[in-house]
Structure 1
Amino acid sequence: MLNYLKQTKLANTAPLSLVLLIISALLGTSHILPSILPYFVLLICGMGALCLQYNLAIIKLVFARPQRKMWWEVIPIVIITMIIAYIFVIVGAVLFNIPVNKNDALGNGDQLSKLINLFWVSISLIGEEVITASLTFPIYTLTLKKFGNQKAWLFAAIVGSLLFGLLHFRVYHWNLYQMFFPIGLGRLPFTWLWLKADSLWPAIVAHILYDLILFIPLVVN
């Protein structure tokens, strides 16, 4: 995946991916679409955006099977991500008096309905990693020659994470601090895991476990 990005230029159709990214932001975070369809919007639009930015080969690469040893990185990454997120939350509350808006993705139904919604939310997290890749990869490609490999990845990872945070504008009611820091920059360990695994899968699993830890108490209550 990484070597491919280093050697490949953006396709002429790359600007069209902006349309899919806008659609994903509008439909993937709302209840406009019926039933379970919103949970698949980020995945579909993210894959479509990647294909427009590069070509179909990128899909196989982002879902490549990682080395077995990479699965041992998942739990530490979940712990690190949680620590970073809580630090951002505490800093926001103590220094800036910024309230934390709860994520109501599970709804207000009974435990069974919340469990069902939790399953679909977990599926949608695959799409969150793919859509973040579609926000991050083009920035890396565009800045690689100017910044060099490491600086380009750092810049792309930060900008991609901030844009990922903005996708949550409905969920967190335009709480910019929460979107940019606990949700946006707080996900950088997942992006680091992309690089080390050369695949999205370990980060997808880490992201799902992370959200399960946050959401399970909401199911029980």
Structure 2
Amino acid sequence: MQKILFERKNEQREFPLLDQKISQWQLWAIIIFVAFGFIGWITFAANVQPKTVWGLILATSLLPFAIILGGFYFLSNGAASTLFKLPKLRDWGFALVMVVLETIYSIVIGMVLNHLHIATNVNAVASNISNSGDKIKTLQIVLGTDLFNLMGEEILSISVFLAIAGLLFHYFGRNRKVALGIAYFLSLFIFGLLHYHTYNWNLAQLLLVLPGERFFLTGIYIRTKSIWPSFAMHYLFDGGIFLITALA
């Protein structure tokens, strides 16, 4: 079996949607449903103002997450459940190394863009924390909602990656390694562009910063075949940024 970057040579765990074939229309439907569902999610969350914290979590995080996960599960014939397999202990060490590299990349690309006098926008969530009258309370709410929001982002990134790879491998004549490589590359930029609201259409961040950061997180999934390590490192990375913002 041809392996992609980060896959172990003796890996026996398989990719859903790629190593188990499903119909072409289902793969296209997964990409469309998840991508447009994510757009609808962020648009809805930006325009709804529930009166209570629990209302906020339910309306803007838990309910949209459940809809996207349920749709993905249905369209994949239940294959979505394999994303949630428990990782091996050694997978966590790899994940930690990758999130350190992601942090270094984020710092370096920020310095490069600053040196080139390319303006960047503050993350919308970090801006909300910074401008809040009670930063710690806002941070707590963000960390609570991010349990669903960031898992939603992981499902977005990984499902699109796997669906594109499945299409290329099963229906467009590409071998497994090429299909995975193209899907990996395309999914990074889809992830970046779908954050248009968070960074107010700043193309430098959408096309350089976010795809680069996503490279490491999707790499974790490729290595571990489990969504849990990539989600945990995503949560750790974003949570660290929001904590620094709240304490500043």
The alignment's TM-score, normalised by the length of structure 2, stands at: 0.79
Alignment pair present for 1:84 and 2:96: no
Could you tell me which runs of 5 or more consecutive residues in structure 2 were left unpaired when the two chains were aligned: 1-12, 51-55
Runs of 4+ in structure 1 displaced over 4 angstroms? none
What is residue 126 of structure 1 aligned with on the other side? 151
The answer on whether the counterparts of 1:45 and 1:131 sit within 8 Å (CA) in structure 2 is no
3-state SS of paired residue (2:143): helix
Q: Give the one of 1, 5, 23 matched to 2:37.
A: 23
What is residue 70 of structure 1 aligned with on the other side? 91
Larger radius of gyration: 2
Instruction: Tell me: CA distance 1:81–1:22, structure 2 relative to 1, closer, same or farther (3 Å).
Output: same
Aligned equivalents of 1:22 and 1:133: distance in 2?
15
Alignment pair present for 1:112 and 2:112: no
Q: Indicate the RMSD between aligned Cα atoms, in angstroms.
A: 2.2
What is residue 47 of structure 1 aligned with on the other side? 69
Amino acid at match of 2:114: A
Residues 182-213 of structure 1, C-alpha deviations (whole Å, 9 max, x = no match): 11232111111111111111111111111112
Aligned equivalents of 2:64 and 2:118: distance in 1?
28
Amino acid at match of 2:65: L
What is residue 20 of structure 2 aligned with on the other side? 7
Q: Give the one of 150, 155, 167 matched to 2:194.
A: 167
The answer on whether the counterparts of 1:21 and 1:49 sit within 8 Å (CA) in structure 2 is no
Residues 42-81 of structure 1, C-alpha deviations (whole Å, 9 max, x = no match): 633542453354211x222000111111112222111111
What is residue 4 of structure 2 aligned with on the other side? none
The answer on whether the counterparts of 2:27 and 2:167 sit within 8 Å (CA) in structure 1 is no
Q: Give the one of 199, 210, 216 matched to 2:237.
A: 210
Offset of residue 148 of structure 1: 1.8
Q: Give the one of 60, 67, 71 matched to 1:38.
A: 60
Stretch of structure 1 that moved more, 39-48 or 22-31: 39-48
The answer on whether the counterparts of 2:39 and 2:194 sit within 8 Å (CA) in structure 1 is yes
Offset of residue 103 of structure 1: 1.1
Number of aligned pairs? 219
Aligned equivalents of 1:45 and 1:176: distance in 2?
29
